Amino acid sequence: MREIECSGVRGFSRDPSLIQKQGIDPHYSAVDAYKHLAPIIDTDRGMEWLMGLTQSKGAKFHTETINDDLFMQEEILLNRFSAAVLINCIGISAHTLANDKTCYPLRGALIRVLNDGTDFSKVHSSLVIAADAAHDNEIVFIVPRNDNVHLIDGIAQPHKGELDLTLESPETQRMRCRAEAFLPGLKNARLDPEYPLAQSLRPARERNIRVERELRTRTVMLHGEQVEQPSRIIHSYGHGGFGWSLSFGCAADVAELVENVLHNLPAADMKSHESIEAGDAHVQALRNQSLRNQSIRAVL
């Protein structure tokens, strides 16, 4: 709480009376509370908007299955699509396509209930108890999705790769029981008849999220000599359950990495990239020289 308060998040306020104001059961053992402003995204509408935006900018969508290591198919794909760069946002399949054995599925599920004010007082704010403060290390996560639906979330199961949860599964029932114990009005909630249970395999990674260029190189002949040619693949995966939250920042990083590829700069791992961001004038000079010396058209 103090870390959030000191970070300058807008609208932060520590107020234990929020427990009563939000209708939280006083027997749930919640003793303190705070609030702050944060965006809430209707991800269904958000995806539609993003698709329309990219298509309006001239993007073309092509659906097919790619197997095996992307690095081994790089030249074929670049030539086939007349592309200058390949951006890999494959998610869980990075285990194979990026040859990254640290990737694994993080199974999640959520219950969708009607939030129109008919069966209980309408929930307007997100209500969360994090795992480190929960009774049994399982979170309470209640968030409005749109004007009439809100979500009950709280399942995160590492290395579970089957989408076989139902409303009757023990995990799902525990999740709903936690939410109802926390916010008793939910006991009267009706399920969304069109889409009562959503589940997914979130693309997690044992290490940090990977937003960097492919570090492997291939040996080619140039002017009669063998040289190491950097890859033109950029990776962005391993976001787990934070894809929407981190999407804008990761997209900005990817855009900068695209610039580096187009300017024929050497690839660097993420730690080295952070050092460059701190102010490597040599790299900036290389970029400026590249811009002066050539006109580049990128096909993504």
pLDDT tens column, 230-260: 999 999 999 998 999 899 999 999 999 999 9
Structure tokens at 259: 């610039």
pLDDT in tens, 162-214: 999 999 999 999 999 999 999 999 999 999 999 999 999 999 999 889 999 99
Phi, psi of 178 (to 5 degrees): -60, -45
Residue 292: C-alpha distances to residues 232, 255, 266, 295, 299 (Å): 21, 20, 18, 8, 20
CA 138/CA 157 separation, integer angstroms: 11
Helix, strand or coil, per DSSP, at residue 293 = helix
Q: Taking 90 as the threshold, does the pLDDT of residue 5 lie above it?
A: no
Please compute the mean of the pLDDT values over residues 147-157 and round it to a whole number.
91
**Overall pTM > 0.85:** no
**Helix or strand (DSSP H, E) at 257:** helix 243-262
Query: Residue 176: how many CA atoms within 13 Å on its side-chain side?
Result: 20
Task: Tally helices (H) and strands (E) across the chain.
Answer: 9, 13
Distances (CA, A) of 110 to 141, 176, 224: 9, 9, 59
Scan for tokens 């290390």, then name that residue: 137
Q: Report the half-sphere exposure of 106 (CA within 13 A, side-chain side).
A: 17
In this prediction, residues 38-54 reach a mean pLDDT of: 91
Backbone φ/ψ region at 159: left (φ over 0), alpha (ψ -120 to 50), beta: left
Q: Amino acid letter at 289? A: Q
Confidence of residue 274 (pLDDT cuts 50, 70, 90): low
Helix (H, G, I), strand (E, B) or coil at 283: helix
